[in-house]
Amino acid sequence: MGSPCELHLHAASEEQVASIAEAAVAEVKRLEQKYSRYRDDSVTAAINRSAGDSRGLEVDGETAGLLDYAAVGFEQSGGLFDITSGILRRAWDFESKRVPDQDELDALTACIGWQKLVWERPRLVLPCAGMELDFGGFVKEYAADRVAELCREMGLRHGLVDLGGDLCVVGPHPDGGPWKVGVRHPRRPECAMATVQIAWGGIASSGDYERFMVVDGRRYGHILCPRTGRPVEGLASVSVLADHCLVAGTASTIAMLKGRREGPAWLDELGLPNLRMDQDERISGSL
């Protein structure tokens, strides 16, 4: 998943913990292999190779479910949550310290737009050569939910799944107490911006601190607007608590994309507990 991952499990015996942990790790690896854009044998690679072919290709049930979810995210975000926008990474190399010019971005945004593809279960058609799908924006959160559910199916009642800071609760501590989770400060990574207690659901964060560059005193983060091709501005981080880590992660990303005013208002309207910091380091929210 491209990040540190941890399992915190309470079980009756070391043998039970070992068995569940082995199954959990195998599930994470399965999803990484299936949806990684870095593997030639992944579902993502097969989909992207089909771009420009009017016949498209048929996808399996799990992938169809993720595509249905992406469609809902696109609609509910007003087109901001768009898994066709991953091609913008071609222009934004945060190691290079170079800001792409407008012509580069215009060439890529011409290939962006969920509304351009044809999705009729189980067949998916990417009509334009050069289009790509990228599941990276939400498959880690989906994996956290899947692993937590797998643990429950194997009889575990107390645990926490942590995939690179995207968390899903298997169940509270054995004494019934909640898990105490530190929310990373987006400007001081060694510090927690806040500590929250969760006994259910999932919590996920989005921000401009994992991958970014500073050029001429200006900060450019990795969350890119599919309309402009440029990094979002206004919010430094957003954390959301929801019934599922997948929903929490999508909501936090959409809030970042909506910006300083619209993002928090949208989360509050949905009734999702959240914590955010703007780029002036002002903290607000309901967590």
191-245: pLDDT as tens digits: 899 999 999 999 999 998 888 899 998 999 999 999 999 999 999 999 999 999 9
72-108 tens-digit pLDDT: 999 999 999 999 999 999 999 988 889 999 999 999 9
Domain final position from 71, 105, 133: 133
Confidence of residue 158 (pLDDT cuts 50, 70, 90): very high
**Is 287 among the domain residues?**
no
**Is 209 among the domain residues?**
yes
The two tokens of residue 262 are 């619209």
Distance CA 242, CA 249 (A): 9
Residues 124 and 192 in one domain: no
Whether residue 2 is predicted with pLDDT greater than 80 in this model: the reply is no
Confidence of residue 120 (pLDDT cuts 50, 70, 90): very high
36-82 tens-digit pLDDT: 999 999 999 999 999 999 999 999 999 999 999 999 999 999 999 99
**Is 256 among the domain residues?**
yes
Domain final position from 107, 133, 159: 133
Confidence of residue 287 (pLDDT cuts 50, 70, 90): confident
Mean of the per-residue pLDDT values of the chain: 95
**Is 276 among the domain residues?**
yes
**Is 166 among the domain residues?**
no
- Percent of the chain, pLDDT > 90? 90
User: Among 36, 32, 54, 55, which Cα is nearest to 45's?
Assistant: 36
Residue 47 structural domain: 43-133
Tokens 């091609």 belong to residue: 87
pLDDT for 242 equals 97
Residue 65's contacts (CB-CB under 8 Å, 6 or more residues apart) are: none
Residues 200 and 273 in one domain: yes
Confidence of residue 127 (pLDDT cuts 50, 70, 90): very high
**Is 89 among the domain residues?**
yes
Domain final position from 133, 161, 187: 133
> Could you tell me the CATH number of the domain that includes residue 47?
1.10.3980.10
Whether residue 113 is predicted with pLDDT greater than 80 in this model: the reply is yes
* Chain-centre distance for alpha carbon 210: 12
Residues 129 and 182 in one domain: no
> Could you tell me the CATH number of the domain that includes residue 235?
3.10.520.10
pLDDT for 189 equals 80
**Is 192 among the domain residues?**
yes
Provide the domain count of the chain. Answer: 2
**Is 164 among the domain residues?**
no
Residues 185 and 269 in one domain: yes
Residues 188 and 266 in one domain: yes
Residues 124 and 187 in one domain: no
Distance CA 136, CA 113 (A): 17
Residues 242 and 183 in one domain: yes
Q: The pTM is what?
A: 0.94
